[in-house]
Amino acid sequence: MVEELEYALELYERYDVDLAYFYTHHLDTALHLNWGYWTGGRFFLRDLPISWSDEVWSRSVLDNLDHPAFKGYTALDGIIGRVREARSGDLLIVSDHGWTFSGYEHMVSPEGVVILAGPSFGSGVIDLDILEVGPTILAGLGLPVSEAIAANVRSDLLPSDRAADIVAQYPPEALRPASRPEEDDKEGEIERLRALGYIN
C-alpha cells in the first residue's frame, strides 16, 4: 500500500491534471482478515455490538487502537492526509459499500459512504447514490454527460455557476483511448514499476 501511495503521489506531482484518484483495498482487506475481533471466535455475529451506544463504541475503539481491525482505519486516515497535502481543491472519498455485524462478508451490507470536501461543496449530510458520483464529477469538470449513463447528475452538489451539459451520446472519437504522457518514456515507466514490485 505504501508503494502504491508513493507512486500515486509522484504522478500527482509530475502531471498537472484536472482529476486525480487513488484507490486502495487496504481497509476492506484488513476488516475481512480481522473479522474474528467482532465475532469472538464465532463464524456469525447476529447481535452485539449492533446495539452499542456511542460511548461504548468510543471506548472499544480507544482501548483497541493497536488491533488490526482499527489500525486499518488509522492507516487509511494517514493516506487521506497525504493525498490532501499533495492535491489542493476538492476531495471526494467514496466507498462502494458499508459493513455490518449481522452476518459475514458483505451479506446485507449497508450502503457506503461518500464524503465531499472542498470549496465546491457546502456542509451537511445528504443521500447520494454511488452511481451518481461519476456523472456528477464529469459535470463538475465541465465535461458532457451522456444520457446513456444510468444515473443522474447531482446538480445540487455543483457550484451555482456550473450546469450539467447533457448529450444524447458521446461522439466515437471521444471513446478512443487518449495517448498517455508516459508513452514517451515507456522504458522508464517499466523500470519504475519493476522497482515498486509490480512486475518482475
Residues 74-120 pLDDT 10s: 888 888 888 888 888 888 888 877 766 555 555 556 677 788 888 77
Does 24 fall in a domain?
Answer: yes
Q: What is the CA radius of gyration of the chain?
A: 20
Domain count, the chain: 1
Using a cut of 0.75, tell me whether the model's pTM lies above it: no
- CA 79 to chain CA centroid, Å, is 11
> How far is the C-alpha of 73 from the C-alpha of 28, rounded, in Å?
10
The DSSP-derived string for 74-103 is HHHHHHHHHHHHH--S-EEEE-S----SSS
Residue 71 lies in a domain: yes
- Residue 26 maps to a domain: yes
Give me the pLDDT at residue 184, please: 56
Give the chain's mean pLDDT. 77
Task: Reduce the DSSP state of residue 172 to 3 states and report it.
Answer: helix
Residue 161 lies in a domain: no
On whether residue 110 sits in a domain, the answer given is yes
**Residue 120, all three cell numbers:** 465546491
- Whether 17 is in a domain gets the answer yes
Could you list the residue range(s) of the whole structural domain that residue 104 is in? Answer: 2-125+170-195
Tens of pLDDT along 7-18?
A: 888 888 888 888
What does the pLDDT read at residue 100? 60
d(CA 70, CA 62): 9
pLDDT in tens, 29-50: 887 777 777 666 666 655 545 5
Q: How far is CA 154 from the centre of its chain?
A: 18
φ, ψ for residue 139 (rounded to 5)?
A: -65, -40
Residues 6+ apart with CB under 8 A from 61: 70
Return d(Cα 28, Cα 68) in angstroms, integer: 12
Q: Is residue 146 part of a domain?
A: no
Asked whether residue 92 is domain-assigned, the answer is yes
| C-beta of residue 133 within 8 angstroms of C-beta of residue 94 | yes
